[in-house]
């Protein structure tokens, strides 16, 4: 198969990459190994982590279209109350982590709508479920990628002028011989205050298998997981409490705190305003990542709220799952950890009334679209990362380092984002690393490998470090990166240029940045002092 642009991996960034190239007039092959397109938003079932100003600015036009499409889908298809339907800033789940907590299947539907005209015209071919297994290269160019069907084993070879890696873990990098890094870089290499003295390539953020729950009448206790005894007694040395507990370190202070858990609290959805400048919103785990607030819907439509479990207790710390020979075994163990947390909550978790266990907790595999009840895909917070023409380091963003100057303004900015440097506990025994950061830009140099000419990262695999990945990995930033990757590939095909040539010529860079602006990509932050 052949197209102008091949996007391998249909996650959040991969979908945006395909849209960017398609809107610029190119033909695209988009591949995805899971049943749903959308990655973090869908198959991984992670409600969007976004910044405070997302409703006003700080995202691309197509990401705004995605967000408004989600709200529109609810208004058209769901039995919302009149009050919920009338809210411009409808938050279907009334969760505290985001102003748009919602069921992942809705994102699937909206993404399908956004891609529909291109599939109909024949300019977009979606290969699903396929994953890459090998690549052919010629010098510094990728000539072809071979993909295999997840269920049948059928093989397809795809060729394109530009190949975009939108996979969750940078799977094309080793297959194509593109130089990359994993885990912690050494402080001597990056100068980062939070980096260790020596590089730790196997020290990566934990992966998690998320899942959805509601709380209804009856006993919905799952079978006891085979290794439940192990997980029930498991306590990381830096944690201060058993992992299966309401107690955990506070991400910003590392002080041991106890979180609450109150199913269906009966709060008013209109009073939930997610703003992480004020609070992380995680002190009541039920409402933290709630994706359906039953009081947003007419009485009887939902028997219960639906909450999404993406909590510290399911962070799998025993091993990385990138570049290890037994990755499948560790992913299976990560699943068992998630099931063990659910079983603990159903049978042993302390309740506010002095009792133990919530047998009414019901696993909602129908919400996540999976047979086993968990998310279809693991939530990867960290990927392989290209050795890039420019690598974003902590000193570019940190409030402590930058003082009142804000983050670095890059001459080659191709987008903007905002999130704290937020690293979950890691496989090397590190606790949370949380560094306040400034609103930042995305430099084009971070999307260009040092050597490979026609491979472009389209997600978390750009030139960040282990530390700065912590704020470049969130939904709107990954979408921005992917969209720019798609527009860059299309621009290079049309102009007969390479990404390196675009970046390293002031006139060509300016022309590309004008193109991005015309497509609704914001390149600089406005003055946020009044917001």
Q: What is the pLDDT of residues 310-343, one digit of tens each?
A: 999 999 999 999 999 999 999 999 999 999 999 9
Q: How far is CA 361 from the centre of its chain?
A: 26
Q: Is the pLDDT score of 531 beyond 90?
A: no
Contact of 60 with 479, CB cutoff 8 Å: yes
Dist. CA 482–CA 18, nearest whole Å: 8
Contact of 59 with 105, CB cutoff 8 Å: no
Q: Is the pLDDT score of 265 beyond 70?
A: yes
Q: Measuring CA to CA, which residue among 97, 108, 16 is closest to residue 69?
A: 108
Name the CATH topology of 2-47+102-185+381-518: FAD/NAD(P)-binding domain (3.50.50)
* pLDDT at res. 280: 67
196-241: per-residue pLDDT in tens? 999 999 999 999 999 999 999 999 999 999 999 999 999 999 999 9
Dist. CA 27–CA 3, nearest whole Å: 5
Q: What integer is the mean pLDDT of 442-460?
A: 98
Q: Is the pLDDT score of 279 beyond 80?
A: no
- The ranges assigned to domains in the chain are 2-47+102-185+381-518, 211-264+304-368
Q: How many CB atoms lie within 10 A of CB 479?
A: 32
Q: Measuring CA to CA, which residue among 199, 174, 207, 231 is closest to residue 452?
A: 174
Beta strands at 155-165 and 2-8: parallel, antiparallel or unpaired: parallel
Please name the residues in contact with 431: beta carbons below 8 A apart, sequence gap of 6 or more: 238, 239, 249, 254, 425
Contact of 119 with 70, CB cutoff 8 Å: no
pLDDT interval class at 273 (50, 70, 90): confident
Q: What integer is the mean pLDDT of 132-161?
A: 98
* pLDDT at res. 87: 96
Q: What integer is the mean pLDDT of 481-492?
A: 98
Strand locations in 150-195, DSSP E? 155-165, 180-181
Hey, what's the torsion of the CAs at 15, 17, 21, 24, to 10 degrees? 100
For 94: left if phi > 0, alpha if psi spans -120 to 50, otherwise beta; the answer is left
* pLDDT at res. 404: 83
Please name the residues in contact with 117: beta carbons below 8 A apart, sequence gap of 6 or more: none
Dist. CA 404–CA 178, nearest whole Å: 37
pTM attached to this predicted model: 0.98
Determine the 3-state secondary structure of 415 from DSSP: strand
Q: Is the pLDDT score of 278 beyond 80?
A: no
Contact of 423 with 433, CB cutoff 8 Å: yes
Buried b (16+ CB within 10 A) or exposed e, 480-514: bbbbbbbbbbbbbbeeebbbbebbeeeeebeebbe
């Amino acid at each position: 198969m052949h197209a102008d642009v091949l996007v391998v991996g249909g996650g959040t960034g991969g979908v945006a990459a395909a849209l960017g190239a398609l809107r610029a007039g190119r033909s695209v092959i988009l591949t995805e190994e899971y049943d749903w397109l959308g990655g973090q938003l869908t198959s991984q079932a992670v409600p969007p982590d976004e910044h405070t100003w997302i409703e006003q600015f700080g995202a691309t036009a197509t990401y705004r279209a995605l967000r408004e499409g989600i709200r529109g889908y609810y208004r058209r298809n769901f039995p919302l109350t009149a009050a919920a339907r009338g809210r411009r800033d409808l938050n279907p789940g009334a969760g505290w982590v985001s102003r748009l907590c919602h069921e992942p299947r809705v994102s699937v539907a909206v993404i399908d709508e956004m891609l529909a005209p291109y599939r109909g015209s024949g300019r977009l071919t979606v290969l699903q479920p396929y994953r890459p297994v090998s690549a052919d290269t010629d010098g510094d160019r990728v000539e072809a990628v071979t993909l295999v069907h997840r269920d049948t084993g059928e093989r397809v070879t795809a060729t394109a002028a530009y190949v975009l890696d939108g996979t969750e873990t940078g799977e094309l990098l080793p297959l194509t011989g593109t130089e990359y890094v994993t885990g912690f870089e050494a402080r001597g290499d990056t100068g980062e205050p939070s980096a260790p003295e020596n590089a730790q390539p196997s020290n990566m953020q934990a992966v998690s298998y998320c899942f959805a729950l509601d709380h209804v009448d009856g006993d919905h206790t799952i079978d006891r997981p085979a290794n439940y005894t192990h997980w029930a007694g498991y306590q990381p040395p830096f944690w201060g409490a058993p992992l299966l507990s309401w107690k955990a370190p506070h991400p910003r202070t590392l002080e041991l705190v106890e979180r609450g858990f109150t199913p269906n609290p009966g709060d008013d959805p209109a009073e939930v305003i997610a703003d992480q400048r004020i609070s992380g919103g995680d002190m009541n785990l039920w409402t933290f990542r709630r994706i359906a607030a039953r009081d947003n819907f007419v009485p009887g439509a939902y028997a219960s709220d639906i909450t999404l479990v993406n909590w510290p207790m399911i962070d799998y710390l025993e091993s990385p799952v990138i570049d290890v020979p037994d990755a499948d075994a560790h992913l299976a163990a990560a699943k068992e950890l998630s099931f063990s947390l659910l079983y603990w909550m159903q049978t042993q978790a302390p309740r506010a009334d002095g009792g133990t266990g919530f047998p009414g907790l019901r696993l909602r595999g129908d919400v996540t679209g999976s047979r086993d009840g968990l998310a279809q895909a693991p939530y990867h917070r960290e990927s392989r990362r290209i050795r890039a023409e420019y690598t974003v380091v902590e000193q570019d963003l940190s409030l402590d380092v930058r003082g009142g100057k804000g983050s670095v303004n890059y001459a080659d900015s191709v987008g903007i984002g905002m999130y704290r440097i937020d690293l979950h506990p890691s496989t090397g025994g590190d606790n949370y690393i949380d560094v306040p950061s400034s609103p930042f830009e995305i430099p084009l140099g971070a999307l260009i490998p040092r050597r490979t000419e026609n491979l472009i990262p389209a997600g978390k695999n750009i030139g960040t470090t282990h530390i700065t990945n912590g704020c470049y990995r969130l939904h709107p930033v990954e979408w921005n990166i992917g969209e720019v990757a798609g527009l860059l590939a299309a621009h290079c095909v049309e102009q007969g240029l390479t990404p390196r040539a675009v970046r390293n010529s002031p006139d060509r860079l300016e022309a590309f940045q004008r193109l991005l602006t015309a497509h609704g990509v914001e390149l600089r932050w406005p003055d946020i002092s009044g917001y």
